[in-house]
């Protein structure tokens, strides 16, 4: 569980101790960190990424890469499937922070006369019920969020601390939560995503004290649709879930006036879902991508939850399955254990057994695309990725992960090398000779190893770089070496000691203060001929450390200096510019009392505010300035949407939840003794201004770009509504008009009548786009530096929703930002997308001169193999003796030959067939261009209308090496050297 609080009346364990155990694989923890971290240098680190594969499918890209972001060594965490320090998202995942007290640790009591987990049945049932789609319980009525915020005691029955669901898939990163009414809210800065509710009225909740109903689609599956018309299905079956089984044990001594000192043992158990893995993608063009996970027998885990609460004098009748039983059930499990000793005889022991989802393959049915994942298992039963086989049109790319056990008796697996076909990456690491036991608690206050087996801040700096990436040797034989140093800081984030308890960053003495955590100090890059040394310094203008300590150390300013090349200064938003907010409201409690809960603004920190580039003579060359928009207004101006027919309400009036905490008497179901609420927004922090200044010959030349976003809660999205660009010649403005602004002409789903006489009259398409969550601008209006207006209109097919036509206003068209629905005689067609196939490919287009171009797609409808200009698709198909529907071209011999292209011989067969079409006497008057490919690499030949074929030659790394003609004469040649 993310956090498990311990509520003790008389127990010798410090209440400040976190009772935490890792309830999920380290890959899931890395996903959360990747969502919440904005910038590497702000964190004093660098990220090294290695792409594994990249395959276009529909309007998406099926790709994966692994990365290493050296921060520090946590001895209690297992290594990932790629090896220590390496992480990667093979397909897609949702993982959540669990905020409920499933193990009932809050209800433990050690009184003179009673000991154990004590609570009324209603409280226990409430705390051990896991609702995937969460909503708040009320004593009566259905209050609005604003009413809950301002008067919880009239409505609130229980706490509301919703889980946060983090996601990472197909380039989308962020999180979502459910508000007090069960409405999902998504935080994503690069897309307008929708989390879809359950498809039936079946229960969306289950008890963590009973076997989980894995066949209930409302708890085992989460669906998300993006703003391109694609739907993503996570989970859905037991095999695509990570499920945690936890056990809590509290042992010690209790004291009774009648019986004296007596030993006790109290236990509790729980089972709950922590992660949902991407199982299927339904693309807008009708294609699907399907993932297959290792199938196991879930019933073997059910006996663990036969009994889930044991107070003194009793015991559990069952244990977690043995490794032999797990192997027979085809289930892989990671384990973790946390032992915490108190100042008396009390000991807390938390064990976690997490059933893992193991990805075995990803495939695109109907296309020859399949990716297989193969694993090995060590003697501790941890799985490690051994290789990935990428199969694409009969060709295979093999990616091998060579992992070695390092660290002595307490070894971890490290990736020693990675091979992509013949290309080898090699890796070295710091201090891997003697690593600690995973059950040791030897971490400092920052969560990293302190060199001992005991917890504490620690002062030994010798271990800050333990297990961190030291060197990468690239296939080119170039290399990079990474050097680390001790972090320092000059400020700490804290809260003022008097009302209103304001979050702040204050100076800290000594300055600088050093911490036993690492940061990147320098990097040496060798490209095979020359070395480049990059040094990193973390200083403010007054030479003080730019570090601010608060849980982790963050750096407000970082300088990157490349030897003999100049340097760059980076300035980031931090705890000073964007502090947390103490917005908690007290009810039934002492006025002005301190509450240790804040409205976090971490998502606003780590944003780049300024970047300055200097040459080696300290001369400023270029400066970048950035500003961001948070969309928040004062809580005093918050509008109750449910009670107002509001046309001027903001996104901050809607996208929030009310964090509510009600402290109750845990021995009985008594009334609340105190409560508080807090406004928590779920809104991105977006770039609104960028200014670039070039310092040329002592003159400043600047370009400023200002972006305006929609602030209304109605149809809010993270895309620009207006962009202003200012240069020395003046200001130009581009305004974007989206479908929701025009769909008023089609208020329903059916019976829409388009107005074909004006711009902006495609009402049926607009309605379909809005209902399909597609957020593509349909009209773009530009006012140039001379105050002249022009527009471009994008028209779409109703389904699939792909462009149908692009038209532009004529020079003499009278329009502006509000009067743009001009008649069509004031426009001219730029391009028409006349014919599309069943996968959304453009088979025929017509340019503004009325000249058609036909494109024939091969390689399972994924790549163009022939383009011919001057005749229509129907004319071409008739010439070739074929029917003329949009998919009849699939029966052409050139398409069949492309589908069979897997080697040199089959490619030559395709070339011969393409030449047969080129040489058709009926087509000799039309320009024809033909193409062949190695789909895993790129185009292998292009034959233009002249008929002189050019062949594209690649090196073993898949990089274009040269272009040669049919006589092997070099037309163009590329040379590569590694740098950075």
Question: For 657-704, what is each residue's pLDDT tens digit?
Answer: 999 988 754 443 444 556 788 999 999 999 999 999 999 887 899 999
DSSP alpha helix (H) spans, 65-187: 121-127, 145-150
DSSP 3-state of 676? strand
- Can you tell me the mean pLDDT for 64-70? 92
Task: Supply the pLDDT for residue 913.
Answer: 95
Q: Who has greater pLDDT, 135 or 834?
A: 834
Mean pLDDT of 206-220: 92
Q: Are 369 and 391 in contact (CB under 8 A)?
A: yes
CA–CA gap between residue 678 and residue 697 (Å, rounded): 54
The Cβ-side half-sphere exposure at 299, using a 13 Å CA radius, reads 0
What is the Cα–Cα distance from 230 to 153, expressed in whole angstroms?
43
Give the residue-averaged pLDDT of 286-293: 94
The mean of the pLDDT values for the chain is: 87
Whether this prediction's pTM lies above 0.85 is answered by yes
Confidence of residue 95 (pLDDT cuts 50, 70, 90): very high
Measured between alpha carbons, how far is 57 from 233 in angstroms, rounded to an integer?
Answer: 17
CA distance 802 to 843: 13
Candidate from 312-326, 441-455, 723-737, 912-926 with smallest mean pLDDT? 441-455
Kindly report, residue by residue over 515-547, the tens digit of the pLDDT: 888 999 999 999 888 899 999 999 999 999 999
Identify the pLDDT of residue 965. 80
Per-residue pLDDT at 585:
80
pLDDT score, position 836: 93
Distances in Å between the Cα of 873 and the Cα atoms of 442, 862, 884, 942 are 71, 18, 7, 21
pLDDT reported for residue 626: 95
- 936 in helix, strand or coil? coil
Residue 302 — very low, low, confident or very high, per pLDDT cuts 50/70/90?
A: very high
pLDDT at 723: 95
Q: Are 815 and 822 in contact, with CB atoms under 8 Å apart?
A: yes
**Cα angle: 521, vertex 523, 526; to 5 degrees:** 165
Higher pLDDT, 15 or 821: 821
Average of pLDDT values for 755-761? 91
Dig out the tokens for 774 from the structure.
């597609």
Mean pLDDT across the stretch 461-486?
92
- Both tokens of 240, joined, read 């695509």
- Is pLDDT of 4 > 60? no
What digits encode the pLDDT tens for the residues 916-944? 999 999 999 999 999 999 888 889 999 99
On the question of pLDDT at 8 being above 60, the answer is: no
Average pLDDT over residues 153-171: 90
Residue whose structure tokens are 């003794």: 673
Residue 16 has pLDDT above 50, yes or no: no
At residue 444, does pLDDT exceed 90?
no
Which pLDDT belongs to residue 458?
A: 56
According to the per-residue pLDDT averaged within each range, which of 501-505, 595-599, 890-894, 966-970 is highest?
Answer: 890-894
C-alpha span between 596 and 655 (Å, rounded): 24
CA distance 611 to 728: 22
Chain-centroid distance, C-alpha 919: 51
Identify the helix (H) or strand (E) that includes residue 906. Answer: helix 904-918
pLDDT digits (tens, 9 = 90+) for 117-148: 888 888 889 899 999 888 888 888 889 999 99
Q: What is the percent of the chain where pLDDT is above 90? A: 58
Please give the sequence-ordered ranges of beta strands (E in DSSP) within 342-497, or none if there are none. Answer: 347-355, 359-364, 369-377, 383-392, 395-406, 412-420, 423-429, 469-473, 479-489, 491-495
Which pLDDT value is given to residue 685?
94
Helix (H) or strand (E) holding 173: strand 172-178
Let me know: does 467 contact 404? Beta carbons within 8 Å. no
* More confident: 434 or 970: 434
Identify whether 568 is preceded by a cis peptide bond (ω within 30 of 0): no
Give the model confidence (pLDDT) of 114-123 as tens digits: 778 888 888 8
Q: How far is CA 122 from CA 119, 374, 506, 517, in A?
A: 8, 47, 45, 45
Q: What is the pLDDT of residue 978?
A: 46
Distance CA 807, CA 318 (A): 71
By percentage, how much of the chain surpasses pLDDT 70? Answer: 90
**What mean pLDDT is predicted for residues 16-29?**
50
- pLDDT band at residue 221 using 50, 70 and 90 as cut-offs: very high
CB-based contact 329:219 (threshold 8 Å): no
Report the distance separating Cα 86 and Cα 361, nearest Å.
Answer: 21
Higher pLDDT, 302 or 3: 302
Ranges assigned E (strand) in 797-871: 803-809, 827-836, 842-847, 852-858, 863-869
CA distance 133 to 163: 9
Q: 379 CB contacts (<8 Å, ≥6 apart)?
A: none
Residue 161: per-residue pLDDT: 92
Residue 340 has pLDDT above 80, yes or no: no
For position 20, what pLDDT does the model report? 37
- Give pLDDT, residue 980: 42
Residue 192's pLDDT is what?
Answer: 95
Q: Which residues pair with 35 in a beta bridge?
A: none
Of the candidates 941, 961, 959, the one whose C-alpha atom is nearest the C-alpha of residue 951 is 941
Residue showing tokens 């990365």: 67
User: Can you give the pLDDT at residue 15?
Assistant: 25
Band of the pLDDT at 390, cuts 50, 70, 90? very high
The two counts, helices (H) then strands (E), for the chain are 9, 57
Q: Give the whole-angstrom CA distance, residue 372 versus residue 526.
A: 34
Domain locations in the chain as residue ranges: 1-23+102-133+197-357, 729-836, 846-980
pLDDT band of residue 342 (cuts 50, 70, 90) is low
Please count the other Cβ atoms lying within 10 Å of the Cβ belonging to residue 699.
7
Lookup: tokens for 713: 């809660």
Q: Looking at residues 628-653, what average pLDDT do you find? A: 87
Q: How far apart are CA 716 and CA 652, in angstroms?
A: 10
157 and 137 Cβ atoms separated by less than 8 Å: yes
- Is 209 within 8 Å of 201 (Cβ atoms)? no
In terms of C-beta density within 10 A (0-12 exposed, 13-18 middle, 19 or more buried), how is residue 16 classed?
exposed
User: Tell me, what's the pLDDT at 744?
Assistant: 72
The strand pairing partners of 656, in sequence order, are 681
* Residue 35, pLDDT score: 54
Show Cβ contacts of residue 530 under 8 Å, excluding neighbours closer than 6 positions.
Answer: none
């Amino acid at each position: 569980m993310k956090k498990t609080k311990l509520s003790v009346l008389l127990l010798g364990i410090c209440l400040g101790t976190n009772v935490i155990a890792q309830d999920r694989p380290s890959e899931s923890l890395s996903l959360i960190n990747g969502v919440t971290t904005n910038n590497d240098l702000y964190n004093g680190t660098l990220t090294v990424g290695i792409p594994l594969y990249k395959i276009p499918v529909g309007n998406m890209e099926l790709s994966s890469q692994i990365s290493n972001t050296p921060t520090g060594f946590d001895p209690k965490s297992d290594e990932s499937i790629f090896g220590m320090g390496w992480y990667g998202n093979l397909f897609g995942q949702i993982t959540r922070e669990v905020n409920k007290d499933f193990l009932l640790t809050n209800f433990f009591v050690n009184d003179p006369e009673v000991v154990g987990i004590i609570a009324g049945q209603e409280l226990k049932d409430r705390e051990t019920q896991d609702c995937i789609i969460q909503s708040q319980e009320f004593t009566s009525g259905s209050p609005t969020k604003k009413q809950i915020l301002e008067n919880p005691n009239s409505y609130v029955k229980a706490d509301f601390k919703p889980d946060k669901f983090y996601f990472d898939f197909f380039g989308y990163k962020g999180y979502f939560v459910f508000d007090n009414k069960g409405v999902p809210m998504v935080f994503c800065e690069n897309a307008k995503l929708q989390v879809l509710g359950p498809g039936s009225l079946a229960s969306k909740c289950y008890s963590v004290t009973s076997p989980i109903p894995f066949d209930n689609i409302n708890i085992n599956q989460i669906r998300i649709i993006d703003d391109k018309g694609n739907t993503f299905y996570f989970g859905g079956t037991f095999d695509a879930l990570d499920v945690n089984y936890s056990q809590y044990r509290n042992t010690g001594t209790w004291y009774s006036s009648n019986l004296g000192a007596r030993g006790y043992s109290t236990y509790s158990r729980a089972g709950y879902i922590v992660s949902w893995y991407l199982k299927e993608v339904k693309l807008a063009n009708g294609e699907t991508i399907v993932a297959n996970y290792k199938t196991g027998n879930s019933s073997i885990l059910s006996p663990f939850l036969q009994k889930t609460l044991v107070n003194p004098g009793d015991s559990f009748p069952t244990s977690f399955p043995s490794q032999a039983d797990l192997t027979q059930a085809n289930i892989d499990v990671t384990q973790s254990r946390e032992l915490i000793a108190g100042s008396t005889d009390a000991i807390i022991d938390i064990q976690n057994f997490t059933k893992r989802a193991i990805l075995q393959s990803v495939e695109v049915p109907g296309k020859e695309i399949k990716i297989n994942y193969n694993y090995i298992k060590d003697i501790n039963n941890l799985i490690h990725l051994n290789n990935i086989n990428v199969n694409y049109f009969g060709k295979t790319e093999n990616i091998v992960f060579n992992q070695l056990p390092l660290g002595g008796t307490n070894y971890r697996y490290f990736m020693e090398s990675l091979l992509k076909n013949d290309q080898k990456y090699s890796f070295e690491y710091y201090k891997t000779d003697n690593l600690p036991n995973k059950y040791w608690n030897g971490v400092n206050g920052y969560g990293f190893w302190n060199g001992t087996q005991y917890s504490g801040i620690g002062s030994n700096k010798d271990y800050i770089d333990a297990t961190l990436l030291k060197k990468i040797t690239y296939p080119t034989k170039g290399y990079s070496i990474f050097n680390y140093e001790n972090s320092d800081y000059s400020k700490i984030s804290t809260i003022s000691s008097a009302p209103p308890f304001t979050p702040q960053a204050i100076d800290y003495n000594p300055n600088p203060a050093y911490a036993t955590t690492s940061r990147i100090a320098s990097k040496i890059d060798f490209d095979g001929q020359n070395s480049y040394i990059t040094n990193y310094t973390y200083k403010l203008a007054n030479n003080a450390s730019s570090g601010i300590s608060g849980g982790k150390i963050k750096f407000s300013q970082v300088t990157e200096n490349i030897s003999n090349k100049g340097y760059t200064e980076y300035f980031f938003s931090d705890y000073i510019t964007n502090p947390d907010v103490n917005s908690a409201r007290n009810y039934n409690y002492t006025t002005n009392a301190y509450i240790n809960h804040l409205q976090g603004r971490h998502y606003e920190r780590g944003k780049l505010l300024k970047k300055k580039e200097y040459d080696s003579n300290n001369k400023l060359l270029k400066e970048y300035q950035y500003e961001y928009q948070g969309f928040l207004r004062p809580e005093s101006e918050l509008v109750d949407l449910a009670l107002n027919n509001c046309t001027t309400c903001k996104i901050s009036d809607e996208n929030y939840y009310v964090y509510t905490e009600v402290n109750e008497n845990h021995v009985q179901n008594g009334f609340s003794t105190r409560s508080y609420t807090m406004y928590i927004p779920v809104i991105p922090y977006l770039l609104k201004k960028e200014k670039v200044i070039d310092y040329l010959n002592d003159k400043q030349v600047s370009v400023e770009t200002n972006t305006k976003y929609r602030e209304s809660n109605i149809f809010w999205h993270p895309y620009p509504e207006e962009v202003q660009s200012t240069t020395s010649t003046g200001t130009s403005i581009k305004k974007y008009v989206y479908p929701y602004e025009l769909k008023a002409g089609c208020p329903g789903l059916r019976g829409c009548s388009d107005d074909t006489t004006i711009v902006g009259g495609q009402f049926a398409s607009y309605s379909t786009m809005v209902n399909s969550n597609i957020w593509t601008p349909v009209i773009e209006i530009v006012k140039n530096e001379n105050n002249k207006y022009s527009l471009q209109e994008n028209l779409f097919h109703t389904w699939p929703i792909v462009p149908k036509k692009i038209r532009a206003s004529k020079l003499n068209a009278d329009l502006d930002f509000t009067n743009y629905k001009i008649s069509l005689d004031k426009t001219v067609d730029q391009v028409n997308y006349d014919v599309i196939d069943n996968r959304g490919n453009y088979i025929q287009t017509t340019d503004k001169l009325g000249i058609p171009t036909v494109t024939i797609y091969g390689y399972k409808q994924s790549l163009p193999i022939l383009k011919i200009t001057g005749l229509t698709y129907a004319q071409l198909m008739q010439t070739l003796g074929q029917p003329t529907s949009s998919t009849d071209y699939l029966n052409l011999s050139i398409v069949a030959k492309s589908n069979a292209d897997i080697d040199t011989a089959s490619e030559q067969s395709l070339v011969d067939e393409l030449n047969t079409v080129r040489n058709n006497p009926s087509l000799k008057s039309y320009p024809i261009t033909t193409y062949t490919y190695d789909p895993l690499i790129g185009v292998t030949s292009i034959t233009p209308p002249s008929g002189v074929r050019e062949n594209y030659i690649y090196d073993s790394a898949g990089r274009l090496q040269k272009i040669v003609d049919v006589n092997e004469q070099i037309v163009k040649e590329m040379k590569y050297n590694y740098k950075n």
